Amino acid sequence: MSDATTAFLEATVRTATPLGLAALGEVVVERTGIINISLEGIILAGAFGALLGATHGGATEGFFVAMLLGVTAAMVFAVFAAWLRADQIISGTAVTLLVIGATGTLYRALYGATGAALSVATAGPVAIPGLADIPVFGPALFNQPAPTYIAYLLVPGVWWWMYRTHAGLALRAIGESPEAAEAAGIRSDRFRVGALAFGGLLGGLAGGTLVISQAGTFAEGMSAGRGFIAIAIVVLGRWHPLGVALASLVFGAASALQFLLQALGLELPYQVFLVLPYLLTLAALAGVAGRVRAPASLGRVG
Amino acid sequence: MRRARATALLLVTTLLVGTIVLLSATGHDGGQAIDALLSGSIGSWYALGSGTLVRATPLMLTGLAVAIAFRAGVFNIGAEGQFVVGAAAGTAVALALSGAPRAITVPIVLLSGAIAGATWASVAGYLRLRFHVLEVISTIMLNFVALYLVSYLVRGPLQESTHVYPQTSSISAAAQLPRLGPTTRLHLGFVIAVVACFATWWVLRNTAGGFRLRAVGANPFAARSAGQIDTARVTMRAFLVSGAFAGLAGAIEVSGVTFALYENISPGYGYTAIAVALLARLDPAGVIATGILFGALESGAAAMQRDAGVPSVVVAIVEAGIILTLVAIERVRLTPEATTA
């Protein structure tokens, strides 16, 4: 039982990591009044970037190119949503579609028409001496790949920046009332583009994590709705970094549930487990939406 | 703003040119690809009827589903899932109804697809009206649920009798839509799609219900306070009608083209539908033209992949380019009256 519990907790943190990273970026973006539907495409771009970087370099190059492509996709969205102030949902959907087409085409063009699965350099878990030896929780929390530790550091970091710095205050003001923020001399466009770049960086890293720390390969459309789940996590986490971290763990647990249930000998069609995170998203949104308050200008820029 | 617009258009152009350069750089013959694209879509009567128009049928109906939802201010990007459950329900009913005559079977199959699609969409409608859940998120989540549902069905209760392939048995001839000629693959579903588009166009334009739907889409607050319109009711109807058309598309695809259910029954019709609807300026009659255009593009792309080795997913880049161009030059919004005025 203890082994199963440890495996469950380990899988919870592992699957929560890319969701948490992407959602943490999205919190900052949504606080400027923009809902980034292209996050799904950004994660996919990151995953493809990781494939490019890791096959031509190594795991480190993979993460770097993942973040680069994530930011690139986010900047395409920024031109439309932040600069042109076009409809965020339509342009976000289009950017996701663009990334699906571009990564699919490039993948087949560069790696063969069959699109056979390639294995890439992976970066396995790194145990933190001492902490990883704590019973049950130690291996789950402190024997994880590097991106998990980045997420641990970013949660308090983003919180501190948002709530304890002048720039963070300006960011939150834009989301609540762009007009008032502009009147106070805040350049809201710059904050929006900056926030989207940060969101792209973390979304790209999330995609890189999927390839380099988890799957060890790339598959077309492998983001599999994680961008949308991350957006739901932001709602569930009430647009707060700490809330988002907790909500990510809830989703990680839902995905990891299959390990626990299999250990208990429950025989269910495997699709039941695969569908859990999506059903949980619906249930969670129904549970909290209406009782939480979004940034007042969310989705209404321009 | 003009500089932003120019940048946006430059970006789209760069992307499209970049794709062409990339494909030629990776050893694809551009001329051969274009030849394949044209001959596979409009190069012959056979390509036009059995390729382009067969492909256009689900695109017109899902495009219509998206257009009518957007007109009501409902961002249904779940046409994909509604299509898939429509196909699943249509198949299940067709398999159960073996022995009944075609004149009874086909209408029941198509109706069950429409009902399944509407039911699927109603979940998102309920979540939005009761709990204020963004339908953008909920419809996408429901797409994934629908895909896994089909994955389960074709490996479980609906799997073909030898239990080898992840697909259902073929539906009986009585459940198949009649073809429009002896040498064509084009089926009656195409006619149904065209009629549905014209009928919706007429209803939106000439009936009180159509007016209410447009009013709610244009400004829900004004519709409620000045127009005494029950906006929740209109919104729910938009979800239902939209889902019904997408579900109907799924049932027609099974009854007219595939004759069986399998996992990748939709090559992303529900997503292409967004481009179809936006390019038609959300006009139901316009969807006929844009549906055929995208049908030609997809049919040609399939030929391009077969004959020139160019991945057909390249179409998604073109679709995204079209949507982004429209967004940039026309400021297309989900408050559609502003775009059609």
For B98-146, what is each residue's pLDDT tens digit? Answer: 788 999 999 999 999 999 999 999 999 999 999 888 898 899 899 999 9
Among A48, A105, A235, the strongest candidate for a mutation testing the B interface, having the largest count of B CBs within 10 A, is A105
Q: What is the pLDDT of residues A173-197, one digit of tens each?
A: 998 888 888 888 888 889 999 999 9
Residue A186 has a pLDDT of 86
B1 falls in which pLDDT band (50, 70, 90)?
low
Say if CB B274 and CB B77 are below 8 A apart: yes
Assess A294–B contact: CB distance below 8 Å, yes or no: no
Residue A32 domain-assigned?
Answer: yes
Residues of chain A neighbouring B271 (CB-CB closer than 8 A): 97
Residue A133 domain-assigned?
Answer: no
* Contacts of A118 by beta carbon, 8 Å cutoff, 6+ apart: A51, A55, A111, A217, A218
Residue B335 has a pLDDT of 42
Q: Give percent of chain B above pLDDT 70.
A: 96
User: Which residue ranges of chain A lie beneath pLDDT 70?
Assistant: 1-2, 113-117, 262-263, 289-290, 300-302
- Domain span at residue A185 reads 2-122+143-288
- Short-list A48, A42, A43, CA closest to A62: A48
Average pLDDT over residues B272-297: 92
Which B-chain residues 241-280 have CB contacts (< 8 A) with chain A? 271, 274-275, 278
Assess A291–B contact: CB distance below 8 Å, yes or no: no
Residue B339 has a pLDDT of 32
Assess A283–B contact: CB distance below 8 Å, yes or no: no
Residue B331 has a pLDDT of 62
Average pLDDT over residues B27-41: 80
**Residue A219 CB coordination number (10 Å):** 16
Say if CB B61 and CB B248 are below 8 A apart: yes
Residues of chain A neighbouring B140 (CB-CB closer than 8 A): 225, 228
CB contact under 8 A, A89 and B75: yes
Residue A138 domain-assigned?
Answer: no
Residue A96 domain-assigned?
Answer: yes
Domain tally, chain A? 1
Cα–Cα distance, A247 to B112 (Å, whole number):
38
Residue A109 belongs to domain with CATH number:
1.10.3470
Q: What is the mean pLDDT of chain B?
A: 89
Q: How many CB pairs under 8 A join A and B?
A: 158
The complex's ipTM works out to: 0.87
Helix axes B286-308, B30-39, angle to 10 degrees: 130
For chain B, what are the domain ranges? 59-291
Among A98, A110, A279, the strongest candidate for a mutation testing the B interface, having the largest count of B CBs within 10 A, is A98
| pLDDT tops 50 at residue B340 | no
